[in-house]
Structure 1
Amino acid sequence: MPVNFRIRGGAGLLLRSLGDTEFNAELERLFRELFHLLTTAPADAPHSAAYVSYHISSEFMRSSNWSEQADAAQGLTALLQRLYNEPGIIAGLQAARREQSLAVLLRVYNIHHALIMSGLRSDHGPQRLDPSDALRLLRIAVTAAWGPWRASIELRGSITRYHRARLHDPGTGVQAIIGWQRGRNPPVQLRAATFNMQGTSATQTDKFRAHLLHRIRQHHVIALQEAGAPPISARHEAQLSVSDQFGGAHEVNRWRWEVGTSGRPENYMLYYLEVGRQRVRVAMMVNSDVSVTGVTVIADGAQSPSGLLSPRPVLGLRIRLPGMRTDMTVYSFHAISGGGPNSPRVLREVVWHTDTPFILLGDFNRDPREPTPEHPESRNWIAPQGIAELVLAQGPTHPSNRPVSMLNYSLTSDLAQVPEPGQVLDLMDSDHRMVSFNFMLSD
């Protein structure tokens, strides 16, 4: 179900401009309304909780406002300390299905943990905040609702991985898994690339043949931005409706591109996410030796009731390579122009709503390298620190002729090994260079 309209309206009142007293009052009003949904409209509660965490992330988390985030974290800690000890709140958790209530608790945990981790970087953060508070309060709520917390929460890996939280059903009932443990099986190589095509039309099949065909032969997956139209020779296979983390539906079209001969067939799959503007579609190109087990869309905000277009969503494919027993997810992302201001919040959404190891490829429209006199605005923008691994390109990627800025690169989580920087490929018919990566996966 989509985001509850009262939750959406209440979140809109929670603004950075509020004073401490007003902020804490609006925060309590919003969270009480959220937990009340579990008794009145439980199917709406998980998507509504996802929107609450998204709004707080978007409104209050900036690259260096650590003191402000510490204030928000402290206020949220005090509020949850009260709410999770109230019989009415616990009764609401018990009234809904466990997976619905756990989903709400995990979304609250996500934003609480993120604010604490960033707030700890402020001058007085270590004196004001406890890094274990998000998990401690989650345990309190779970224990009050369903008994010993170990029956409902499984901890995996080190505490540095506790930003990963997901639901899992091992066959004995739904559990929350906090953290991640890297696989121990022999690693499998995934060859992936990212390319901003600068738009194509149906008549520009030559761009696919001239630039992408020989590249996809060398890669398992290519993430495309400004993908325009598929090759005119591609055959449409399916129109998929994919729900995002807020319950909004998105159209994804699957195409098959057959370019070989009867004696030596070559088949590639193309997945296109419709974003309302054909030229700037986000897409994925997949080699035939990759099994696609699912399609994912991560939205940058809930869809507007008025139909206004929101920033481009992220297109993801759950894939499995030969030699792997479990899935991983590869994403294609195109950030807002003018410095990619939505990149940090979109990364957090990907982390919070992906239940596999992942690779986020794309055009981030911001340079992640250390600042220099020539590029004083560039910097590592990942927040909180450590929620993903930044994998740079070997050099600048934009503009394609004499590039100076690094806008095309990748972010990963929970791979078998730390990847080497991506190779910047030769000039092609675009204003961006393609970047090629070798990733090592294990399960």
Structure 2
Amino acid sequence: MKTRKTAATCAPFLTLALLATAACGLPGTDEETPGGSSAGYQGRGPITYVTGEDTTGVVQKQLDRWNKEHPDEPVTFIELPEAVDEQRRLMIQNAKTKSDAYTVLSLDVVWTAEFAANQWIERLPAEEFPLEEMLEPVVETARYKDGLYGVPLISDGGILFYRTDLLQAAGISEPPTTWADMRNACDAVLALPQAKGMSCYAGQFDEYEGLTVNFSEAVASAGGIVFDHRGQPHVDTPEAREGLDFLVGLFRDGLVPEGALTYTEEDGRQAFQQGKLVFIRQWPYLYAAANATDGSSKVAGKFDVTTLPGLTRTGSSSLGGRNLALSSYAKNQATAIDFIKFITNEDNARKNLEIGSNAPVYETLYDEPSAFTSHPYLPVLRESIIYAMPRPHVAEYGKVTSAVQKEVHAALRGDKTSEQALADLQQALQSHTKRHP
């Protein structure tokens, strides 16, 4: 774990793990502030901001602006590893020790319910944030039961990148909308001399959170669901089997690259940029990298994006993104609330898009001419987000996603049939969700 210290923040503030009281009854909880008003939040002074690796440098620039304007309330950047599973582990470890070392947490949207159910984060004053200006599905990821426990920072939706030059050479004028369309397009493209050595498709197939995303998308794109609104699993179904069979079939038929069972986002990005793939399911951050003209990409100007394909029609993305939450054990919570307002405002959202290609949570940013010119994929991305299906919204999310990864990966490896893997997964998920949060 890396830390970046401001000049006004002393080291003990980060290194001491002072114990706080339990979440129940703390300022900002329902008992003390029934309406979610910020009046119950106490304390001003130094705080920390905890998130994954700042690969674009945009986070530090935003913190520098805050620190210049708030010299008595500096924010120290605690930079966690890039791997999301490790970020979650460290945040939970901090919460279980009731340490005040972490103040504002950047949570993957699917962790919000888990952290709220365990009282590791505070309920926030919904009326003090411009939620009505944000995309509704994004705001819903920040709610738990009847309260707001996070403020959307960035969103994300899966999209399909495809080689326009190769589809055109194969006589295909439109991108695929169904899995069958995509397979047929691959048959035509891979028969071309210029496609020698290429593979059809890649996603995120290693045994990690990306696999849960890809599986959830496949199930939803076949008309199924992983969990219902009551938090009950529904994976031992014909629709879920159709979705898993699609993924298994890609491996069985040799349509994915050798070694794709260990693919993460970065592995797929590199393969697409090197011209080894016709299609890839990816997050929009790939767009800028694949269009680089510095020699790092062989496909610059030769690709486009569309929504994910499905069984019989356009498919569904899993909803990605980040919500900012307030640790229940943090000091200086009044400063933290003001900082969350600052870092999630529309101006910073615009900078996140311009510099980091991060999907904005504000509706208006998708219509700004300058944004569309520099990020022409925004209409596709907005559609992906609006119609996205959330990943399992359950308190025991860590156990749920681990079970999904274990059983789905076994099916992809050929160690289990889709039918057996889903039956085992249904049983495992039921054991983890007997008590709905």
Query: TM-score, normalised to structure 1's length?
Result: 0.29
* TM-score, scaled relative to structure 2: 0.29
Larger helix proportion of the pair: 2
Tell which has more relative contact order, 1 or 2 (C-alpha 8 A, sep 6+): 2
Kindly indicate which of the two structures has a greater share of residues assigned to strand. 1
